[in-house]
Amino acid sequence: MRGPLGAVLERYPLSDGTTEDGGIIRHNRKCRDVAFLVIFIAFWVAMIVNSSFGFNQGNPLRLTYGLDYKGNVCGDKHAHPGLHQLELKYWLNPNQVYQSGVKDSQFELSNARSICLLDCPTPLEDSLSWVCDYPEGDMHLSMDDWIDRNYDYYEILTSEMKNASLQLQGPCYPVIFPSVNVYWSCQYIVRASNASLRHWKQMGGVDIEEDIIVDKSIHSFINSRSSVLKRYMADIGKAWPVLIVCGGLLPLFLSVVWLLMIRYFVAAMPWITVAFFNILIITVTVFYYLKAGWIGNDAISPIIGDHDPYIHVFGRELNHLRAAAILMTFIMVLSILTSIAIVRRILMGTSVLKVAAKVIGEVQALIIFPVIPFSILAIFYMVWISAALHLFSSGQVVQNNCNTNCCAYDLLSEKVNCDHCCGYSIRYTPHIAVAIFFHLFGCYWATKFFIACSSTVIAGSVASYYWTRGETLSEVPVLPVFDSMKRLIRYSLGSVALGSLIVSFVESIRFILESFRRKLKVAETTPDSWFGKMIAITGKSFCRSSAIATELIMNNILRLVRVNVIGDVILFLGKLFVSLSSAVFGFLVLDTHKYSSGHNKLSSPLLPVLVCWTLGYVVATLFFAVVEMSIDTLILSFCQDSEEHEGTAQFAPLLLMETLNEQNDMQRLTQ
Average pLDDT for 105-125? 86
Local confidence band at 22 (pLDDT 50, 70, 90 cut-offs): very low
- Whether the predicted pLDDT of 289 surpasses 90: yes
Local confidence band at 545 (pLDDT 50, 70, 90 cut-offs): low
Number of H helices, E strands in the chain: 28, 10
- Whether the predicted pLDDT of 593 surpasses 80: yes
pLDDT in tens, 453-504: 888 888 888 877 777 764 433 444 446 777 788 888 877 777 788 777 776 6
String of DSSP letters for 557-600: HHHHHHHHHHHHHHHHHHHHHHHHHHHHHHHHHHTSHHHHSSTT
Average pLDDT for 307-328? 84
- Whether the predicted pLDDT of 305 surpasses 70: yes
Q: Alpha-carbon distance 58 to 77, whole Å?
A: 16
Predicted local confidence at residue 479, as pLDDT: 67
Q: Alpha-carbon distance 441 to 322, whole Å?
A: 29
Q: Please, what is the angle between helix 346-362 and helix 662-670, to 10°?
A: 140
Q: Alpha-carbon distance 335 to 121, whole Å?
A: 51
- Whether the predicted pLDDT of 551 surpasses 80: no
| Residue 31 to residues 37, 265, 452, 495, 541, Cα–Cα distance (Å) | 10, 41, 17, 9, 8
User: Which phi and psi angles does 168 have, rounded to 5°?
Assistant: 60, 40
Query: Are 409 and 170 in contact, with CB atoms under 8 Å apart?
Result: yes
Average pLDDT for 552-571? 64
- Whether the predicted pLDDT of 188 surpasses 70: yes
Query: Are 83 and 77 in contact, with CB atoms under 8 Å apart?
Result: yes
Local confidence band at 519 (pLDDT 50, 70, 90 cut-offs): very low
Count the Cβ atoms, other than its own, within 10 Å of residue 202.
11
Predicted local confidence at residue 100, as pLDDT: 82
Read off the amino acid at residue 317. E
Q: Alpha-carbon distance 193 to 311, whole Å?
A: 16
Q: Alpha-carbon distance 58 to 56, whole Å?
A: 6
| Residue 365 to residues 352, 415, 514, 527, Cα–Cα distance (Å) | 21, 77, 41, 26
Local confidence band at 283 (pLDDT 50, 70, 90 cut-offs): very high
Q: What percent of the chain has pLDDT over 90?
A: 24
- Higher pLDDT: 530 or 590? It is 590
**Which has the minimum average pLDDT: 105-119, 394-408, 590-604?**
394-408
Local confidence band at 5 (pLDDT 50, 70, 90 cut-offs): very low
Predicted local confidence at residue 469, as pLDDT: 60
- Please give the model's pTM, rounded to 2 decimal places: 0.81
Average pLDDT for 509-533? 47
- Whether the predicted pLDDT of 667 surpasses 50: no
Q: What percent of the chain has pLDDT over 70?
A: 77
Predicted local confidence at residue 271, as pLDDT: 86
Predicted local confidence at residue 211, as pLDDT: 58
Q: Alpha-carbon distance 595 to 217, whole Å?
A: 28
Predicted local confidence at residue 3, as pLDDT: 33
- Higher pLDDT: 93 or 659? It is 93
Predicted local confidence at residue 465, as pLDDT: 77
User: DSSP assignment, residue 401?
Assistant: P
Query: Are 291 and 297 in contact, with CB atoms under 8 Å apart?
Result: no
**Which has the minimum average pLDDT: 363-377, 508-522, 549-563?**
508-522
- Higher pLDDT: 108 or 522? It is 108
- Whether the predicted pLDDT of 517 surpasses 80: no
Computed over every residue of the chain, the mean pLDDT equals 79
Local confidence band at 670 (pLDDT 50, 70, 90 cut-offs): very low
Read off the amino acid at residue 475. E
Predicted local confidence at residue 560, as pLDDT: 58
User: DSSP assignment, residue 403?
Assistant: -
Q: Alpha-carbon distance 318 to 303, whole Å?
A: 12
pLDDT in tens, 217-240: 888 888 888 899 999 999 999 999
Count the Cβ atoms, other than its own, within 10 Å of residue 313.
19
| Residue 241 to residues 112, 237, 238, 245, 590, Cα–Cα distance (Å) | 37, 9, 8, 6, 10
Buried/exposed code over 88-102 (b: 16+ C-beta within 10 A; e: otherwise): bbbbbbbbbbbbbbe
Query: Are 116 and 75 in contact, with CB atoms under 8 Å apart?
Result: yes
pLDDT in tens, 237-278: 999 999 999 999 999 999 999 888 888 888 888 888 888 999
- Whether the predicted pLDDT of 139 surpasses 80: no
10 Å CB burial of residue 522 (0-12, 13-18, 19+) is exposed
